[in-house]
Amino acid sequence: MVEQEVALKVRGKSIELRQGGEGLPLLYLHGAGTYIWMPVHDRLARRRRVFLPVHPGFGASEGLDEIEDIEDLVFHTVDVMDELGLEQADVVGLSLGGWLAAELALRHPHRVRRLVLANAAGTRVAGVPRGNIFMATPAKSRALLFHDPTSKLAMTLVPDAPPPDRMETILRGREAAARLLWHPHVAQRKLTSRLGRITAPTLVVWGADDKLLPLAYGEAYANGIPGARLAVIEKSAHLPPFEHPERFADVVLSFLGA
């Protein structure tokens, strides 16, 4: 269960925040459309104080008009950490949130104690095509995101027909995701060339069957960041924290020393 849901004020904008647990702080940076509190967060919160801020444009979080690229989102995340009183935290990022986490560790190394990148966007790998989630039907999206696209989890997170009362929120989230992920080539080329500058101890976690960002992208992160380790989760695709919450939490908490 979520311990608390609050509206955090960040530079005058209301930001949705979910938090729970006790212990050293863990900042969880969500992927596009995966900002809800899930069983994996409960498992992480057994050992850590978990903070899950919702990025501008997703959920009820305001401020999308000020986010044009990943650098803007990094600045915003630093502001969130300041509002939470987090001078430094362990940072876990999934997909879009993984790209954000890597950029945060690169640009503000003193704010990141340890870094976990889960099926993170942000790298370029020549000759290895990525899936296109933006042009995909719900069925195709499930095939890209899940090891078993017919599972209850897949059908719940990516339904064929979203509830009408959720459509406005969903469309805002798609706009927010598209701003950052539609044409990210220059930004991702820059990050790929700068991975060697990341100094935080890093764990790269990847679903073995990811069809959106194949394993080669995880290997690029692990090979590019000095001393990084790669943990591959079998029978998992793009969302290992959701498909295998217990296994994911165990791997992450072991790395964090919790």
How far is CA 11 from each of CA 28, 53, 72, 91, rounded to the nearest angstrom?
20, 14, 13, 22
The per-residue pLDDT of the chain, averaged, comes to 93
pLDDT digits (tens, 9 = 90+) for 71-99: 999 999 999 999 999 999 999 999 999 99
Q: Is the pLDDT of residue 1 over 60?
A: no
Task: Give this prediction's pTM.
Answer: 0.95
The topology under which CATH files domain 4-132+169-256 is Rossmann fold (3.40.50)
Highest mean pLDDT among 28-37, 63-72, 244-253: 244-253
From edge to edge, which strands make up the β-sheet containing 25-29? Answer: 4-10, 13-20, 49-53, 25-29, 89-94, 112-118, 202-207, 229-233
Q: Supply the pLDDT for residue 183.
A: 75
Q: Supply the pLDDT for residue 94.
A: 98
Q: Is the pLDDT of residue 113 over 90?
A: yes
| Banded model confidence at residue 240, pLDDT cuts 50, 70, 90 | very high
pLDDT digits (tens, 9 = 90+) for 19-63: 999 999 999 999 998 899 999 999 999 999 999 999 999 999 999
pLDDT digits (tens, 9 = 90+) for 159-212: 988 888 777 887 787 888 888 887 777 778 899 999 999 999 999 999 999 999
Q: Report percent pLDDT > 70 for the chain.
A: 98
111-139 residues labelled b (16+ CB within 10 A) or e (exposed)? bbbbbbbbbbbbbbbeeeebbebeebeee
| Banded model confidence at residue 2, pLDDT cuts 50, 70, 90 | low
Q: Map out the domains of the chain as residue ranges.
A: 4-132+169-256
Q: Supply the pLDDT for residue 137.
A: 93
Q: Report percent pLDDT > 90 for the chain.
A: 81
Q: Supply the pLDDT for residue 128.
A: 94
Secondary structure (DSSP) of 65-76:
GG--SHHHHHHH
